[in-house]
């Protein structure tokens, strides 16, 4: 999932696309979010208190974005499940709430905030390590857990051009990487995806740092045993950045 910035909620088109996605799939029992905005090793899970706090991890935005709330039920059961499959090295930070990579898209997909949500940190940016972590998490899907990797298909903030508007033409490098990513997922080319840094066109431009691409590997690992069937649920660009998102069966 490409998650956007806090002002995504004011973008009628993208908001509608996320809302439609949430309505099109079976409502999950609980949601495990792996966001680009939480890197911590060893793997760490977020708070399981009622009304999980939010982390306003952005700067210089209008005050209304710092007043957003998303009061979800406690994800106590999911926390136990995650620790059960990942092992005793998993830590928990009860002071850590949901960051904008988790709650911003979920406010549009599930606005009632009635689903327990737990966030899991990125313990590494190594694609193989994250893919393996996803494979370990896969059994959680059988109990109704929606596993979401939340990042951005291209994420070079030098391309962000407010003057061109949200639907302006993307830079060529952004379009090239987006096209490659769509083909690689369609072809289920795991080798190309795991080695994207060397194989994808414009990879170094699309991701000067790979934290916004890395959550995809957790989702891929979690979907491996079920065949990696997928489709692009959201396509297009937002201020030059690819907002392409996939649903993996």
> pLDDT tens digits for 86-101?
999 999 999 999 999 9
Q: Is 109 exposed, middle or buried (0-12, 13-18, 19+ CB in 10 A)?
A: buried
Q: What is the pLDDT of residue 182?
A: 98
Q: What is the spatial distance between Cα 93 and Cα 88, in angstroms, rounded to a whole number?
A: 14
Q: What is the spatial distance between Cα 214 and Cα 217, in angstroms, rounded to a whole number?
A: 6
Q: What is the spatial distance between Cα 172 and Cα 89, in angstroms, rounded to a whole number?
A: 43
Q: What is the spatial distance between Cα 214 and Cα 151, in angstroms, rounded to a whole number?
A: 7
pLDDT tier at 164 (50, 70, 90 boundaries)? confident
Q: What is the pLDDT of residue 135?
A: 98
Whether the CB-CB separation of 137 and 82 falls below 8 Å is answered with yes
> pLDDT tens digits for 182-198?
999 999 999 999 999 99
Q: Has residue 208 got a pLDDT over 90?
A: yes
State the DSSP code for 242: E
pLDDT tier at 161 (50, 70, 90 boundaries)? confident
Q: What is the dihedral of CA 19, 209, 93, 5, to 10 degrees?
A: -30
pLDDT tier at 162 (50, 70, 90 boundaries)? confident
Q: What is the spatial distance between Cα 151 and Cα 243, in angstroms, rounded to a whole number?
A: 9
Q: Is 142 exposed, middle or buried (0-12, 13-18, 19+ CB in 10 A)?
A: exposed
pLDDT tier at 145 (50, 70, 90 boundaries)? very high
> What's the distance, Cα to Cα, between the start and end of the chain in Å?
14
Q: What is the pLDDT of residue 49?
A: 86
Of the chain, the percentage scoring pLDDT greater than 70 comes to 100
Q: What is the spatial distance between Cα 89 and Cα 149, in angstroms, rounded to a whole number?
A: 21
pTM here? 0.96
> pLDDT tens digits for 33-67?
999 999 999 999 999 988 788 999 998 888 999 99
Q: What is the spatial distance between Cα 190 and Cα 205, in angstroms, rounded to a whole number?
A: 21
Residue position matching structure tokens 């898209």: 105
């Amino acid at each position: 999932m490409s998650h956007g910035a806090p002002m995504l909620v004011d973008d009628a088109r993208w908001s509608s696309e996320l809302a439609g996605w949430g309505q099109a799939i079976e409502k999950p029992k609980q949601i495990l979010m792996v966001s680009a905005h939480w890197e911590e090793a060893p793997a760490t899970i977020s708070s399981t208190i009622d009304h999980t706090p939010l982390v306003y991890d952005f700067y210089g935005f209008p005050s209304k974005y710092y007043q957003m709330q998303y009061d979800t039920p406690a994800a106590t059961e999911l926390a136990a499940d995650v620790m059960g499959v990942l092992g005793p090295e998993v830590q928990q930070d009860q002071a850590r709430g949901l960051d904008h990579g988790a709650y911003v898209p979920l406010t549009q997909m599930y606005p009632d905030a009635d689903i327990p949500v737990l966030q899991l940190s990125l313990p590494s940016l190594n694609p193989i390590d994250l893919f393996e972590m996803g494979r370990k998490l896969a059994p959680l899907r059988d109990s109704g857990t929606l596993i979401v990797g939340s990042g951005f298909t291209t994420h070079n903030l030098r391309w962000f051009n407010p003057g061109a508007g949200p639907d302006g033409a993307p830079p060529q490098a952004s379009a090239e990487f987006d096209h490659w990513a769509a083909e690689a997922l369609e072809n289920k080319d795991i080798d190309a995806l795991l080695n994207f840094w060397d194989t994808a066109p414009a990879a170094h431009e699309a991701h000067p740092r790979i934290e916004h691409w890395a959550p995809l590997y957790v989702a891929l690992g979690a979907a491996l045993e079920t065949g990696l069937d997928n489709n692009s649920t959201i396509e297009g660009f937002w201020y030059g950045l690819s907002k392409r998102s996939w649903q993996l069966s």
